[in-house]
Chains A and B, each alone.
Chain A
């Protein structure tokens, strides 16, 4: 059910039952919620009454990641990207507890056009949450080097639109890796941004949970298709000392996950159209699936943070998963 690719690469002895974690993730496509408590996984189906009591869940922070809405796209793979975005929003609004905020990991628009940004903003206003935080995708910085994106979505940010904020003891960092891309290259953070990052986290205690979000994956998913960031290792080096780091990305329009020590990498589904699994096809373009299957390959990500635990509970649910 849905496309789940789980990559396991972790041998740390830190008390976290990662095998169980990963088994749980295999259910996530059908709408299960997994929460780590005391290093042990507890799973709930979305719609389980137990979810109505978040105190019982001992979750201290819940937020949602949404990605790749591509407003303005209108080809066969999805002639109604606004409609599927609205379905994703309805799903978020149906959660028992509204998320504290929403992270949009980029490709808000298809062609950086003002009318596309307008339409996206209007639709996203329907989410019942306090704030939406954005980072741009390469589709959001076309023709104007991101000026239109920044005017609208990047108030209070630095440089090309990077920033950080704190929420309930966790530190969130929004990075921009879609600017100044070089021929033959991958995503790129650039020296200025990495130096800013180093300063930004310098005085944080290593026990502070870190969540980094950026559009292009910050790990090497499939370089041939540009699915990686050339200088992400330098950036992640400054986060090595932290006990819990979660990296949330978009760009590849499918769910992939990797755990490496204290770092969990996760990519989200698109709300617009799916893309091929790495290497399965000529390139990273829109894939057309039968109309009745489309909702099963689009979705949103629910993230739950339990203070003091290593990893965040990350649930991907497709648009057609039962509530």
Chain B
């Protein structure tokens, strides 16, 4: 089936527009996604990390504080960050410069597992190229 050049052009404009919107991200999160200097707290208490799942923007710093009478550690399962042993009231902090999902655990009590989610969970889409569109015919 033949598509007129006008149709191709209007599809192209549409696709580029959609691509631009996705690329820039939704207006509300665009600002916070690039905000730096914000800090978030995780409490280590009763053999658990609280909150168990923490969502933060890119560039945020997370501070863990041990409120238990047992020492704990904060070890990322992908070796991105690793604390020393934290005694009661000791703290550990890490600044997340890259978006992603970071699982971590306590190496002393490995049943204690938690996650930090950094940045938007949605993936960006690329605008379709001209020759890809031609292949649709």
Which residues from chain A sit less than 8 Å from chain B, CB to CB?
75-77, 110-112, 138-139, 142-143, 181-186, 223-226, 282-286
**Once the chains are docked, how many angstroms separate the CA of A185 from the CA of B111?**
6
Q: Is the CB of B70 within 8 A of A184?
A: no
Complex interface: chain B residues within 8 A of A138 (CB): 108-109
Q: Is the CB of A181 within 8 A of B87?
A: no
**Once the chains are docked, how many angstroms separate the CA of A179 from the CA of B72?**
15
Complex interface: chain A residues within 8 A of B104 (CB): 183
**Pick from B47, B71, B84, B107: contact of A181, CB under 8 Å:** B107
Given A142-B85, A183-B105, A184-B105, check contact A286 B110 (CB 8 Å): no
**Once the chains are docked, how many angstroms separate the CA of A138 from the CA of B110?**
11
Q: Is the CB of B113 within 8 A of A184?
A: yes
Complex interface: chain B residues within 8 A of A224 (CB): 111
CB distance from B71 to the nearest CB of A (A): 6
Which residues from chain B sit less than 8 Å from chain A, CB to CB?
46-48, 68-71, 73, 75, 77, 84-85, 87-88, 103-105, 107-111, 113
Given A112-B85, A283-B46, check contact A225 B73 (CB 8 Å): no
Complex interface: chain A residues within 8 A of B47 (CB): 225, 282-285
**Once the chains are docked, how many angstroms separate the CA of A139 from the CA of B106?**
12
Q: Is the CB of A183 within 8 A of B46?
A: no
Q: Is the CB of A110 within 8 A of B71?
A: yes
Q: Is the CB of B69 within 8 A of A77?
A: yes
**Could you pull out 20 A-B pairs where Cβ atoms are within 8 angstroms?**
A75-B69, A77-B69, A111-B71, A111-B87, A112-B85, A138-B108, A139-B108, A142-B71, A142-B84, A143-B85, A181-B108, A183-B103, A184-B110, A226-B111, A282-B46, A282-B47, A283-B46, A283-B48, A284-B47, A285-B46
Q: Is the CB of A181 within 8 A of B110?
A: yes
Q: Is the CB of B110 within 8 A of A182?
A: yes
Q: Is the CB of B69 within 8 A of A142?
A: no
Complex interface: chain A residues within 8 A of B48 (CB): 282-283
Complex interface: chain B residues within 8 A of A183 (CB): 75, 77, 103-105, 110, 113
Q: Is the CB of A285 within 8 A of B87?
A: no
Name the CB-closest residue of A to B83: A143
**Once the chains are docked, how many angstroms separate the CA of A100 from the CA of B113?**
43
The 8 A-B pairs of least Cβ separation, nearest first, read A283-B47, A183-B105, A282-B46, A142-B85, A181-B110, A75-B69, A185-B110, A226-B111
CB distance from A244 to the nearest CB of B (A): 32
